[in-house]
Amino acid sequence: MKEQGRISPDVTVDPSAVRLKEEAGQNSVRYFTDWALPQLDMLLPETFEPIEVWTTLDVGMQRAATASIKANTPDGAQGALVSMDRDGAVLALVGGTDYVQTNYNRATDALRQPGSSWKLFVYLAALEAGYTPDDRVVDTAVTIDGWSPRNSSGRNVGEIDLRTAFAYSINTVAAQLGNEVGFTSVASMARRFGITTEINTYPAMVLGSNEVRLIDMTRAFAAVSARGESVEPYGILKVETADGELLYQHEKPRSSQLVPDYVAAGITDLLQTAVATGTGRAAQIGRPVAGKTGTTSSNKDGYFVGFSSGVTTGVWMGRDDNTRVGGLQGGTAPARAFAAYMRYAVKDRPVEEFDTDLQLPEWQLEPDDEYMFGDPEDYYFIDEQGNLIEPGTADTPRNDPFAQDFDRTLGPERPSPSNTSQPGPGPRPPQQPPRGADGAPQAIGDDFLEEATGASGSNRSPPAQRQIN
């Protein structure tokens, strides 16, 4: 104060004469200010002038968040909560159960495993690769590179749809999906949605073995709530001098579409089902909620992240020493804390129904067999007597293209995707049958084999025939 001229240079104070009020606990707003105020160093030029800072924090929501964490966190454990608006404005932030006891901010700094809430990125990658919520998959025992995931129930239920597999957080299906779309694709999706920590791509990553920050996971779910648009968390709205001069004003950053609309609609469908009928039922608040639970091995971490009416909230619970918390699951205490807070957070907002109407692209709605296999009249093939038949010179059965494929010596000349109505390539001289790696003749060419079996490109069967085994 002397340096800034606020008090006379000759003023002295006896510290023993200052009477301070003792406090058993301190307002959890300090968790928010510890995160937000250091950002002023990047937003403002150096100044000694007094300033006024407007933040995104909603005092009522902060009180509700603090109360929900204190009331629902198991004894001996810690809890954290991050809540943000649809544009990324942080409305409430709780980094622990008692700031005075420990000011470590578990909402923004702690690295913990998110468990099955990480499956958000697995299923986003699967939906982007062509899956839909209604596609059939198989819950069965599986081993991937020596890793054999198990379901929490210890059972396998067989064939189900993708929606049910997600709602009940079936590990074997998530493992198969991750293996099919590629673990690097899952990691890339997580990075795309704002995960800033290191991501390993070994198979177990699909079940949430990578450590993340709660604020990053909340940001990812907020992007889903924003129909797939990027969201950047922020806490400072504007800064002015004491004289009213504007020093800083938050401007919405340029957003980008992270996934197509139909992918955002599909994952919202899955998230809504997880709360309505699946593992997240304790998060219901009497209006549409979409979210996902997460529980790590030995109940060390409990996660729930979800959104409703434009507010996205993430909750984590666990012990700082990473030891077991008896009975802790994402669908218990974290989901209950989420519900207790969200009832207050959205009470003055209109009820919003989710957009889960999938407007699929044409390549998913109408799988084009002619594009995949070509027109049968464009093929050279061998008849039952072993004679080479040129294209268009004989009636070719059309009702069983797979049966025909393995009698043809040459692959099809695939029509151009942009003009499939053009005539075939016309006659061409016979060629020697291709040979495999062992030198033996092959019945058909490698290119055609890859096309017919789906081994090229995405390495999957056509969407209409897809099934995980």
CATH class of 60-345: alpha beta
200 vs 183: CA distance, rounded Å: 9
96-115 per-position pLDDT tens digit:
999 999 999 999 999 999 99
- Whether 83 shows a pLDDT value over 80: the answer reads yes
* Confidence (pLDDT) at 388: 58
Q: Which two tokens stand for residue 253?
A: 């950053």
* Confidence (pLDDT) at 439: 52
Q: For the ranges 18-22, 126-130, 323-327, 465-469, which has the lowest average pLDDT?
A: 465-469
* Confidence (pLDDT) at 361: 63
Q: How many beta carbons lie within 10 A of that of residue 387, not counting itself?
A: 9
pLDDT tier, 26 (very low <50, low <70, confident <90, very high otherwise): low
Q: For the ranges 346-350, 351-355, 425-429, 451-455, which has the lowest average pLDDT?
A: 425-429
Residue percentage of the chain with pLDDT more than 90: 64
pLDDT tier, 48 (very low <50, low <70, confident <90, very high otherwise): confident
Cα dihedral angle (306, 103, 52, 45), rounded to 10 degrees?
-100
* Confidence (pLDDT) at 385: 58
CA distances from 156 to 149, 172, 213, 466 (A): 11, 8, 32, 20
176-232 per-position pLDDT tens digit:
999 999 999 999 999 999 999 999 999 999 999 999 999 999 999 999 999 999 999
Mean pLDDT (whole number) for 391-398: 49
In this structure, are residues 229 and 254 in contact, taking their beta carbons and an 8 Å threshold?
no
pLDDT tier, 392 (very low <50, low <70, confident <90, very high otherwise): low
Domain boundaries, the chain: 60-345, 367-469
- Whether 323 shows a pLDDT value over 90: the answer reads yes
pLDDT tier, 170 (very low <50, low <70, confident <90, very high otherwise): very high
Residues in the chain: 469
- Whether 339 shows a pLDDT value over 70: the answer reads yes
* Confidence (pLDDT) at 18: 67
Q: Residues with Cβ < 8 Å from 207, sequence gap 6 or more?
A: 115, 116, 118, 119, 149, 171, 174, 175
Q: For the ranges 67-71, 345-349, 402-406, which has the lowest average pLDDT?
A: 402-406
- Whether 173 shows a pLDDT value over 80: the answer reads yes
* Confidence (pLDDT) at 409: 34
* Confidence (pLDDT) at 432: 47
pLDDT tier, 425 (very low <50, low <70, confident <90, very high otherwise): very low
Mean pLDDT (whole number) for 68-78: 96
- Whether 384 shows a pLDDT value over 60: the answer reads no
* Confidence (pLDDT) at 49: 80
Mean pLDDT (whole number) for 289-300: 95
pLDDT tier, 274 (very low <50, low <70, confident <90, very high otherwise): very high
Supply the mean pLDDT for the chain.
82
312 vs 217: CA distance, rounded Å: 10
Task: Say how far residue 154 (Cα) sits from the centre of its chain.
Answer: 25
Mean pLDDT (whole number) for 154-160: 92
Q: Which residue would you say has higher pLDDT here, 464 or 101?
A: 101
User: Which of the listed ranges 108-112, 152-156, 387-391 does the model predict with the highest average pLDDT?
Assistant: 108-112
- HSE value, Cβ hemisphere, 13 Å, CA-based, for 270: 33
* Confidence (pLDDT) at 63: 95
* Confidence (pLDDT) at 436: 52
Residue percentage of the chain with pLDDT more than 70: 73
Q: Which two tokens stand for residue 35?
A: 């995160």
* Confidence (pLDDT) at 390: 58
Mean pLDDT (whole number) for 302-319: 98
Q: Which helix (H) or strand (E) holds 238?
A: strand 236-241
99 vs 437: CA distance, rounded Å: 67
pTM score, two decimals? 0.74
In DSSP terms, 307 is beta-bridged to 290, 312
